[in-house]
Structure 1
């Protein structure tokens, strides 16, 4: 296993060598900064100077550069006169190179074995007894596995294209903070972790690295931002309970969440409960702290549920960081962005790095911004620190200079067009269509060249990124702060907002830019004059679904839309009005069967195709199916009801069997305490000693039997709502197999001791400056 030392900056490599040499020599080594120590990197005793270790992270430097650097150490050693001098370097050296270096330092070395090359370092770390050191240096080993080569494997990473699009950059810029270590510890114990914090503090990159860590340990990774369909996610997890899986639910309290119906709030709790009960599942939720606080106000009962044992969630607020973690993030960005020496000196001068680390507006996203060479290319080295400080003093202005001075009008129009379409990702082709429709009216834009591609090439990496998502190319902002910035600009610039609305080519743009009342008024007008048919949609399926939804809810009677209705019914589905705002198919079906709409569009003729009707009814789950059948039954003429009864009964039977297949025990509100106590048996140990102990198998059996009775009652209640002629025989339920899963997990979870440690981590303690000074003064 060849570990990836190039992923470490020079400070991280020094930390690694400190761990290696301390274990190798059996002594505790301390670190020192250049200038203070006269050339010491690591030492055992500052007064005796028995052992000195020099660390050289010269992985990209040729051998002559390393030799030249080492020669400068000779006068310092002659003054310090250690008993033993060691060199650790991140290069593979030839025997001749080792001999030359040993000759230089032979007075202070026992043998050339005191020269530790990359080969010796790697041999040491790959021994099983040293795995603890490897595990402590995340960036070192994550690339040594094959996991990053497997990021497009659907067997390991499911729906993770967006999440892992920049992973090869992320792994380099990631810093293993106290919050990350705490998150791993908590997730191992608690199974469900909630990461919150201010925008830009590192919630996403921390979540990515956690799931990668789990992936290297054999876990399958699932990623979703779709809080509107958590039941489907849970069903997917339930298909293989033994499979090790970790789920990342991104932006779990975003705006889409607040548009959920109450049952979907329960779905989130159900998912949490399921994971907490499952030995092989882990769940990460993340959300901005402001949105989490909003959730505490808008859905207080849901958030309070996180304190209950069955829905227990460990909460980590990443907003509070220790000084040392802030310094590591700053240094790491400067190092891997290859910030030139004179620019770095302006940060070292007068210990300016302390002012950055201690700034009340310190934020990793601002550090990422100011360390990007593209951002400071026209800033002189003497003003680099002032450049950083200016952005920290005015964080809301971070993007102003870029947006107003560096971008052309066309580039800004592409950014605002993307913003108007999505908060996450949109089809690249769809963005292209909407952008081109918008610039058509601009006489100053040369349409003989491909403005979209030209603008895209200028904006990529700095503002937008392209992701290959399920063989479809999508476009998104490089990070959420750009979305926040553009939202702020548009909300305070009525002229720009008006232009976006007036040139909108997609209904999705109008849905985002207008108030609900304004949107409805605009849509009613578009449906009345037929211009809705000219709007762009991401797909024809999305077009007919939206048109059918709006017609059914607003009783629009216009034969131009009849074919859209028939097309929708032939492939009935839930409708995303905007991103994750979902209208359920059963509600659309209900509105379509309103007598006035039903008769005007001659839907009765369409539903006379009983094969099609059976396909439509088969889409619904049992609860919605009962409603759908009742709607149809009330409208069908008597001569058609006989065939409908036959079809309806078959579909109902199939729905009941699906409902009873793999019933999750955790979906039921059971008093496990009663079942466990009722299963207890007296166990004798001899010498008149005995105790009552629960019989787990008996408890499980009783729970399963209780759930089966509950399922029969639930199904019976649903079926009682059917018309008399559609009722199933009394013996039908006796033949249905009810498969209950998860009862064992319920019992084991109940018997598991409850950990009463603090479940709310709010940052690390502050550090003194010595470690930070050491980092920047090497």
Structure 2
């Protein structure tokens, strides 16, 4: 990589392991590694008969050369007792010839030669000679200037750029474990990966590391919020990796959302599988994935799991737990007193072995910003939160965050995953008004700014023009507040954007409201729907989807009248070619929502005709996957099979006529075989002749075979995990002793 490192992203343990691996590669021998503070100052050792080589690793980030000289002098007495035949000192400090001579003089009486004092420059030289070691120690190069420059010039903005900033900050704290290797293998085999596990166990962290690994190797990164957005950027050609976090939602799973995933995910995964330059990473909570599979046949294990897309994470060995805590303490902004409190009486062992150990909890309780909110000693905070993880944010929210701060947190929750500051400000004003706080025009800006500043860093994060929760757990927590504090009736009369109303509706329905609750709020929901339309906040799809949901849930006649009028208006406007997913969503909803028969029939008829016309009008422009998705939805949920078949034949006919264009970007025989199987099955299902298509595909196959392009995909350069260190109490205590010397 031709990069020069200062090793600032490495902890003491990381640095020692790097030194060990470099010297093993250079000497072609196996070295014993003991860990900081263990065995009387030996970090690494090599024994061969009478030969006894001791290697000492000194990683000094802040104290520099003078600190190194003091540390070396302090080690002298212990080193002499070891009686090595050769002594080697490796350090992250930059050294000159004269400085090496000073170090040798300071270690008088030891078998230390100037050439055996390895400074920053020497280690970089060894890294260049052994690139395989550099590859294994990814925390070196993931935060290097070369990687950052490559990402900054790759054209990623807003959501993606914000995500990359988050990843860059978390790299030093990440602990390499088996999940990375397993995830890389699945991605290499299938191109798509669903990372599942309980909340807070590191699903998103693992996904982010994979994203960064791909970015370093010149994959273009696209961070999206919906499967619809993923479809738009899943184009063959350049190397693209798409990342969608919590694709099934964080705490709520609606049948409507499952229907949308059911229609979009399988064809999207098929598209990724067909193109070696596309990769797709999704995360979801394991219990939500299980719910989704129960609601959808296409998401069942026999379907989505057929190619082993799902990787379940969350189990950490004792050694990995120790490293997670160690890294968070090492790179934290904790005071010396706070760190000592964690180290005292080996308190860290209780943290590591606690049944509720969770990377997300460790991340928060070792942050100075969080501890400032709790106003409690660090040991008390850690003990309390581990004993009852549900109160991680309860105490700060109720006791230390101002009323304005709580209003802003509610406003951000109502804006889904992220929003622009102006959007958050507008929601903040509406939430304030709903809770009885009327802000005069002159008060809005100063109130918003001061509240935002108070929460930024601990609760909120602003990255590349987008505001989001600093920790995903906060969104879960605020949702629980809306439920426990019964805030839906309070907030609803002031909300007016699709996001605000959709979030409230999902909370409302998740509580399984009684008939009396529905009746009481039916008029309020109707007024909110009107505000959304009159304010120009929604498009026709947002309006029809919410109106149909409200009609089905509340059985309120004025809402039915509004839906009827919206359908009448919808019939007058044709759909565009980029609205396939919206057409599918509306058609699915028309089939599944429980409306009065006449309204339900009209809804299905309108959406069936619109979807069929879309398939006919844009058959020449739609991708194969979009054609499949729209076709499948028409035949599964539409109410005019004759029209659906006519639309299918029009679309398949277009595919057949343009087959050369469709397959020209397929670069290997394996990809072509997969594409042919899918296409022929599709054509046969709709009783369309396949002879000409099969002939054209065979011609392309012969050309690929002549060129020797048979294999489907190559893995990007993966990383291999270091062997796990010991995990006895003594091993872990030895590791954490190094923290007390920082």
Does the 8 A contact of 2:22 with 2:133 survive in 1? yes
Does the 8 A contact of 1:545 with 1:575 survive in 2? no
Q: 2:586 aligns with which of 577, 583, 586?
A: 583
Q: Distance in 1 between matches of 2:523 and 2:694?
A: 53
Q: 1:501 aligns with which of 492, 502, 512?
A: 492
Q: 1:51 aligns with which of 35, 53, 58?
A: 53
Does the 8 A contact of 1:249 with 1:284 survive in 2? yes
Residues 410 and 505 (structure 1), Cα distance of their counterparts in 2 relative to 1, 3 Å cut: farther
Q: 2:67 aligns with which of 61, 65, 68?
A: 65
2:87 is matched with which residue? 85
Q: Distance in 2 between matches of 1:546 and 1:252?
A: 19
Q: Distance in 2 between matches of 1:170 and 1:32?
A: 27
Q: Distance in 1 between matches of 2:709 and 2:518?
A: 49
Range with greater deviation from structure 2 (268-277 or 701-710): 701-710
2:234 is matched with which residue? 236
Residues 192 and 769 (structure 1), Cα distance of their counterparts in 2 relative to 1, 3 Å cut: farther
Residues 662 and 351 (structure 1), Cα distance of their counterparts in 2 relative to 1, 3 Å cut: farther
Matches within 5 A, 1:199-348: 199-227=199-227, 232=231, 236-237=234-235, 239-240=236-237, 243-254=238-249, 258-260=255-257, 265=262, 267-276=264-273, 278-299=275-296, 302-305=299-302, 311-348=306-343
Does the 8 A contact of 1:420 with 1:512 survive in 2? yes
Range with greater deviation from structure 2 (206-215 or 767-776): 767-776
Matches within 5 A, 1:606-685: 657=654, 661=658
1:435 is matched with which residue? 428
Answer yes or no: is 1:490 the counterpart of 2:482: yes
Structure 1 position 776, deviation (Å):
0.6
Does the 8 A contact of 2:201 with 2:358 survive in 1? yes
Matches within 5 A, 1:157-556: 160-227=160-227, 232=231, 236-237=234-235, 239-240=236-237, 243-254=238-249, 258-260=255-257, 265=262, 267-276=264-273, 278-299=275-296, 302-305=299-302, 311-377=306-372, 383-422=377-416, 424-440=417-433, 442=436, 448-449=442-443, 450=445, 451-468=447-464, 473-494=465-486, 496-514=487-505, 515=508, 525=523, 532-535=529-532, 540=536, 542-543=538-539, 545-547=541-543, 556=561
Structure 1 position 356, deviation (Å):
0.7
Structure 1 position 741, deviation (Å):
10
- 1:499-544 C-alpha deviation (Å, 9 max, x unpaired): 2234434353233224458999799746977x7554489x947255
Structure 1: stretches of 5+ with no match in the other structure:
589-593, 608-612, 635-648, 667-695, 718-732, 753-763
Residues 321 and 220 (structure 1), Cα distance of their counterparts in 2 relative to 1, 3 Å cut: same
- 1:226-275 C-alpha deviation (Å, 9 max, x unpaired): 23576x35x833x43xx444333432333568425768525423433444
RMSD: 5.3
Task: Please state whether the residue corresponding to 2:187 is helix, strand or coil.
Answer: helix
Task: Please state whether the residue corresponding to 1:456 is helix, strand or coil.
Answer: helix
Give the structure with the higher percent helix.
2
Q: Distance in 2 between matches of 1:749 and 1:618?
A: 28
Residues 368 and 712 (structure 1), Cα distance of their counterparts in 2 relative to 1, 3 Å cut: closer
Structure 1 position 574, deviation (Å):
5.2
Structure 2: stretches of 5+ with no match in the other structure:
552-558, 592-596, 611-615, 713-723
Q: Distance in 1 between matches of 2:658 and 2:137?
A: 46
2:30 is matched with which residue? 28
Bigger radius of gyration = 1
2:594 is matched with which residue? none
Structure 1 position 289, deviation (Å):
1.7
Structure 1 position 475, deviation (Å):
2.3
Structure 1 position 403, deviation (Å):
0.8
Q: Distance in 2 between matches of 1:218 and 1:206?
A: 19
Q: Distance in 1 between matches of 2:260 and 2:104?
A: 72
Q: Distance in 1 between matches of 2:564 and 2:673?
A: 59
Task: Please state whether the residue corresponding to 1:466 is helix, strand or coil.
Answer: strand
- 1:623-658 C-alpha deviation (Å, 9 max, x unpaired): 59999x999x99xxxxxxxxxxxxxx9999799536
Q: Distance in 1 between matches of 2:94 and 2:334?
A: 26
Does the 8 A contact of 2:264 with 2:581 survive in 1? no
Structure 1 position 53, deviation (Å):
1.6
Q: Distance in 1 between matches of 2:324 and 2:531?
A: 50
Task: Please state whether the residue corresponding to 1:188 is helix, strand or coil.
Answer: helix
Answer yes or no: is 1:773 the counterpart of 2:733: yes
1:755 is matched with which residue? none
Matches within 5 A, 1:143-154: 143-144=143-144, 146-153=146-153
- 1:301-327 C-alpha deviation (Å, 9 max, x unpaired): 63322587xx31154322110111111
Q: Count how many residue pairs are aligned between Structure 1 and Structure 2.
A: 676
Structure 1 position 70, deviation (Å):
1.5
1:720 is matched with which residue? none
Does the 8 A contact of 1:145 with 1:216 survive in 2? no
- 1:658-681 C-alpha deviation (Å, 9 max, x unpaired): 685459999xxxxxxxxxxxxxxx
Does the 8 A contact of 1:276 with 1:312 survive in 2? no
Q: Distance in 2 between matches of 1:477 and 1:259?
A: 25
Task: Please state whether the residue corresponding to 1:126 is helix, strand or coil.
Answer: helix
Q: 1:11 aligns with which of 7, 10, 13?
A: 13
Residues 54 and 700 (structure 1), Cα distance of their counterparts in 2 relative to 1, 3 Å cut: closer
Q: Distance in 1 between matches of 2:466 and 2:191?
A: 32
Does the 8 A contact of 2:460 with 2:468 survive in 1? yes
Query: TM-score, normalised to structure 2's length?
Result: 0.75
Residues 334 and 565 (structure 1), Cα distance of their counterparts in 2 relative to 1, 3 Å cut: same
Does the 8 A contact of 2:374 with 2:396 survive in 1? no
